[in-house]
Amino acid sequence: MRFLVDTHALLWALGEPSSLSSAAREAISDPANLIVVSSASLWECAIKASIGKLDLPKDFFDSIPEAGYEVLLIRITHLNVYRTLPMHHRDPFDRMLVAQARAEALTLISRDPEIAKYEVDILAC
């Protein structure tokens, strides 16, 4: 299967796996699954770290590919989906994750109830 991890799911997967649901832990740890991290999530982490809202290990960004996760850059097709999304969620990073999940046929691993309002496959974490 192919999964896109929400920002909080990424942070938990790399730092506090016990915070994830057992289904999310199993999906992320299964080597048969493709685990994707959006560049939007990485940008969000960088912003929050730079303003003191998030404490990241020094090697956090380098640990993404080392963990076997694929980084998904924002593409034109994602932006075209993004601009058509209803405003169920005000967070632009989360809206981009929904757009990418839809455009790339990925299941989004998230615990955000606002994301569940969109037509996107979700695995609750």
* pTM (predicted TM-score): 0.94
**Among 100, 95, 51, 91, CA closest to 73:** 100
Q: What is the pLDDT of residues 16-70, one digit of tens each?
A: 999 999 999 999 999 999 999 999 999 999 999 999 999 999 999 999 999 999 9
pLDDT of residue 98: 98
| Amino acid identity at 116 | A
Say whether 5 sits in a helix, a strand or coil.
Answer: strand
Task: Using alpha carbons, list the distances in angstroms from residue 109 to 49, 99, 105.
Answer: 22, 14, 13
**Number of domains present in the structure of the chain:** 1
Which residues form the domain of 8? 2-124
CA 52, CA 41: separation in Å to the nearest integer? 16
Predicted pLDDT of residue 49: 97
3-state secondary structure of 9: helix
Residues 6+ apart with CB under 8 A from 67: 13, 14, 35
pLDDT for 86-104, tens place per residue?
Answer: 999 889 999 999 999 999 9
- pLDDT on residue 56: 96
State residue 10's pLDDT score: 98
The pLDDT of residue 89: 87
pLDDT at 67: 95
CATH of the domain at 11: 3.40.50.1010
Mean pLDDT, the chain, integer: 96
